[in-house]
Amino acid sequence: MDDLLDLDALLTPEDIELRDTVRRFGEQRLRPHVADWFESGQIPVRELAADLGKLGLLGMHLQGYGCSGSTATAYGLVCQELEAVDSGLRSLVSVQGSLAMFAIYRHGSEEQRRHWLPPMATGEVIGCFGLTEPDFGSNPAGMRTTARRDGSDWILNGSKMWITNGSVADVAIVWARSADDGILGFVVPTDTPGFTAREMTRKLSLRASVTSELHLDDVRLPADARLPGARGLSGPLACLSEARFGIVFGSVGAARDCLETTLDYVATREVFDKPLAGYQITQTKLADMAVELGKAQLLALHLGRLKDGGTIRPEQISVGKLNNVREALRIARECRTLLGANGVTLEYPVLRHANNLESVLTYEGTSEVHQLVIGQTMTGLSAFR
């Protein structure tokens, strides 16, 4: 598909080279298998993490500790190319780098950073991020997982749900409530006694991704397992902002793949003795989708520049996440109509993207949560309670 708005002119040569490298990796290494991974609900996480680590994509926007320290825009473009293949693949990179690694990088001690970040950057060690609970998603302040002191140790009890990579992870970042200290973060090796993880199955979305439930039953941790720089909800919320930024770009990739697939299809599919692309109603749908995709791409790039300049605000990321995921899902659904019955098969990626985007619409903050964040910024009044 031609670059309708000449967006490449807004990118540096380095951005374009990295984007194209990841696009080739996606086409050669990932796309040939992703429909099978989605259908079977099985994905070789460790093998893929090693490949992604070799490309330097895990924690790529962090400085030092084996990470390349790329720009936020470059990281966003990587997310875009990975999600163009499948949202689950972008989630693997996002959870590893923007949640688990970023939590240690931002809130951890120097010893924790040196111990965990280098092997996580190579994919040798896989991380997960335990915040969401069975009864508390949009309201993490209500979490029931507890942390209590026992001498110099901490004892954790509770459960977490919808945790990407949880049952394959080597280390979990777990958030828990202390009666005396409020919400705290902990680095929990998953072989710690009392820690168990169960893979969640029967999903209709993000099937090319491992989703798990975590259980902590008197998990005893030494004092130095606590993230010393995290206290209160600001700790996990800062990590969520990092992950949401990747979604702003990633959702654009899913939408682009749907539209490119549909353009190829309507050019060759004949209806009433001429290509489907030659009908007015088809072209109006294509034009509307291309316009929304271009706007979403421009918004993502603008937010990338703000982040690179150090001026981005959480509510701006909410604007990007709300708009781009919502429009990507609309594009995927509209593309499905042009593919007809073929659109519901795994021979084409469109409904797979749509199913995945249903989850992306909800996680890292639902659309309604982001609407309220934006509304609070506009009015100065909180409508959360």
Amino acid identity of 351? L
Q: Do the Cβ atoms of 326 and 340 come closer than 8 Å?
A: no
∠ at Cα 243 (157, 131), nearest 5°?
10
Angle CA 12–75–51, to nearest 5: 115
Active site residue 364: yes
Catalytic position from the list 242, 327, 364, 368: 364
Task: Give which of 267, 299, 165 is closest to 307, Cα–Cα.
Answer: 299
Handedness of CA 40, 45, 50, 54 (dihedral sign): positive
Q: Of 65, 263, 91, 237, which is closest to residue 164 (Cα–Cα)?
A: 91
The count of C-alpha atoms lying within 13 angstroms of the C-alpha of 14, restricted to the half-sphere facing its C-beta, is 6
Q: Which residues contact 138 (CB under 8 A, 6 or more apart)?
A: 365, 366, 368, 369
Name the helix (H) or strand (E) containing 34: helix 31-40
* Cβ neighbours, 10 Å, residue 92: 26
* Nearest CA-CA partner of 206 in 46, 362, 371: 362
Distances (CA, A) of 297 to 87, 121, 250, 324, 335: 17, 28, 10, 8, 18
Instruction: Report the SS3 class of residue 293.
Output: helix
Query: Which residues are the active-site residues?
Result: 364
